[in-house]
Structure 1
Amino acid sequence: MEARLDFLFPVAHEPGNDVTLHRHGCHELVYYLKGSGRTRIGDRDYEYREDDYALIRPGTFHDERHAAPTEVLCLGFAPLRESALPEGVFSDRRPKDGEGAHDPLLPLLLGMAKEMKNKDEDYAGMLDLLTSQLVLTLRRRRLTGGSPTYAEDKFRYAINYMNENFHRRIDFGSLAAMAGYSLDRYRHLFKAETGASPGRYVLGRRIAHARTLLRETKRSISEIAADCGFASDSQFCSLFKRETGWSPGAYRKVNA
């Protein structure tokens, strides 16, 4: 055996239902089955989206902030010998150019979840065997270069800028020019990589911040609209209801 399974469970999060900083005494793998958002692992921030996975070493503080409804599979494990696994957020998708191709982790993880649910004879031993296979697979990816972290892709600067300046007017044309693309091409590539257009991505950040302010402060609707970058109270109320199904006032009453 190469590893022992410590825990395995699925969990779903809504935007605003964030995971605060915490750490484990074992390695953790968080597989993002659905959703998008951000996670801080140690002293680095990463974006995540569907079919990414995070690897966190024992003792590393990490959190999770959800920009869209997110479903994850959390797995804690302890390698039985020294294992220099990388830490960060990685893609489980096959590279489009075919370089560095690898078999996806998801079927293996779903097989583990099935063993855990069914609890057939010797399921604990089977889970440790599958965990060992997972660790060997992760080591092999490290030794062959693995897949690049999403945080280091060519859109990282733009995403960082949007995360820091979502409450301001953002000139997407300038961001496209700095990346060396026309605006139309940039929009297309950005959506292909992140699952959202630049405009939708910024709107998601504004709505997520508005949710937090509505829940955790007593600031007026007008103040929140301005703080989140909306042009007017009416625009804020209209877009908030379109995206969440609630008016800002109703959302505050339910979540106060």
Structure 2
Amino acid sequence: MSFPFPTTNRNTNLWNGYEIDPFLRFAEPLVRSSLQIKPRKLMDYWLFWLQEGSVRLTYEETTIMLKQVDLILVQPNTVHHMEAQTPVVRGLSAHFDLFFHPDRDTIHPIMPDMLDPRFVPYIQPKWNDMGGPPLPLVLAPHDAPRFLAAFTEAVEQWENKSVISQLRAAMRITEMVAMLWEQYGFAAHPADSGRDDRLQWMLSYIHYHLDQPLEVHELARLLNLSPSRFFYLFKTRLGCSPHQMILRLRLERAEELLRMTDLPLGKIAEHCGFANEHHFSKLYKRKRGTTPGAARKALKLQP
């Protein structure tokens, strides 16, 4: 950000000098027969739960396929666009601020041109610019039923428009932010505190970055652990090595793309982080006992 957010004298929770004060701007059930969001940036946080359909999402030059039940959180000031891959898309959508701004009641959540310098003072700080491990795009809440129930109630209460309903909707958003903070905002804990949330976050991070090289020493660095300590904790608590987990998740992602798209095998290999199509086919056959081409035919026959 070019300008810091104004500060207050209230006794509040601060993160890197910014006052944490969740504020729900807008919420709605989203049903579209042809969903297409052109490239844009937002000034606030956008939470989207895909309940039905399939969507291709491009986020900061990374493209992923969102499947049913995926939950994403798009951070402010990041370029993204999305396009439905199915005739109907249904889900829940909410825009909210994470940090306090004194003029937030006067600002519309979606501006037409976030590059306009007039809007810069109102763009929310990004979680991933605050230091520590980043928040993944695709969320995996520890207590998913509770999180999604709070999301559902927030949208329902927002739709009612009464004062009490608006307060209840705001409470649910605050509850959800607290759950995210508890799960992902662990940078303040000692690196070797033994908390399992670090590894849960790492699984989400790996899932989001499957198309990129994932080296154990770099993953360990994100958690402020030595490679040997990271390897030990990972295998002890998750039952497999980091390499085995990465391969498993890549193959699962590949099967999703084989079933849901007609992408060439070379493109699927690229999206899933394999060196090339030959490398992808070789590992797939070794682990699944069949070729990707044969698997695609079988998967598409499944209901």
Same fold (TM over 0.5): no
* TM-score category of the 2 structures, normalised to the smaller one: 0.3 to 0.5
Q: Which TM-score applies when normalising by structure 1? A: 0.43
Higher relative contact order (CA 8 A, sep 6+): 1
